[in-house]
Amino acid sequence: MDRLAQIWPLFGLRLRCGPVELRLPRDDDLAALADLAAAGIHPPDQMPFYAAWTRKQPPGFQRSFVRHHWGSRSRFAAQEWSLDLAVRRDGVPVGVQSVEARAFAVRRVADTGSWLGSAHQGRGTGTLMRVAVLALVFDHLRARAATSGAFLDNPASLAVSRKLGYRDNGVIVHDREGAPAHEQLLVLSAEDWRAVPRPAVEVEGVEDCRGLLGAA
């Protein structure tokens, strides 16, 4: 293990599910992901995100992208954390899978969000990366539930959640770029996670991260 991962064990965390690997991005990984995101995540007439961060133009786009990830790193605390994991498929950077929690030690609930570069969507990667973080929180951190959500006009994200067994958990309305847009809230319980066989996920380095995640 390198020195940085000894100091900050989250850098040693690795999740693998088939061809997909997730790990905390180093700065060079962030540069590649920033350019991938700038190349496009969704058509310009759509907005799958609650904050319209994909509207910025280069080079401000890439700068605010890396600042966002640096901010998550610097604010990371057991009481409130966000793990924004770089996703590679067959070694190629394809997107980010986030998992975040507040008061995880008490609530044992984690929320997820994700994106893939447009060229990497629709090949099953979004499902595998979600399975990877669900295995982390349910099988290694003893989560009680995982939550997610997607706008009603985001069928790919909703399909990933539904095929993994999430249940509908209400609908809320957002101000999306000045117009109302409905978000389907979703929840997956630990019981529902364990009720069906899941793709195998290899998790490395989690022991040293438990304290940081409020899951000691």
**Which residues contact ligand COA (rule: CB under 6 A)?**
41-42, 48, 113-116, 121-127, 150, 154-157, 159-160, 163
Nearest distance from C-beta of residue 164 to ligand COA, angstroms: 10
Nearest distance from C-beta of residue 205 to ligand COA, angstroms: 24
Is the CB of residue 134 less than 8 Å from the CB of residue 193?
yes
* Strand ranges in 90-178 using DSSP code E only, listed in sequence order: 92-102, 109-116, 145-151, 167-176
CB-based burial of residue 15 (10 Å sphere; 0-12 exposed, 13-18 middle, 19+ buried)?
buried
Nearest distance from C-beta of residue 130 to ligand COA, angstroms: 8
Output 129 or 203, the one with its CB closest to ligand COA.
Answer: 129
Nearest distance from C-beta of residue 128 to ligand COA, angstroms: 7
Output 43 or 178, the one with its CB closest to ligand COA.
Answer: 43
Nearest distance from C-beta of residue 200 to ligand COA, angstroms: 17
Output 123 or 142, the one with its CB closest to ligand COA.
Answer: 123
Output 135 or 150, the one with its CB closest to ligand COA.
Answer: 150
Q: Torsion-angle region of residue 182: left (phi > 0), alpha (psi -120 to 50) or beta?
A: beta
Output 95 or 214, the one with its CB closest to ligand COA.
Answer: 95
- Residue type at position 81: W
Is the CB of residue 79 less than 8 Å from the CB of residue 87?
no
Nearest distance from C-beta of residue 169 to ligand COA, angstroms: 14
Question: CA 186 to CA 150: how far, in whole Å?
Answer: 8
Question: CA 126 to CA 97: how far, in whole Å?
Answer: 8
CB-based burial of residue 99 (10 Å sphere; 0-12 exposed, 13-18 middle, 19+ buried)?
buried
Output 29 or 111, the one with its CB closest to ligand COA.
Answer: 111
Q: Taking CB positions, which residue lies at the least distance from ligand COA? A: 126
Secondary structure (H, E, C), 41-89: CCCCCCCCCCCCHHHCCCCHHHHHHHHHHHHHHHHCECCEEEEEEEEEE
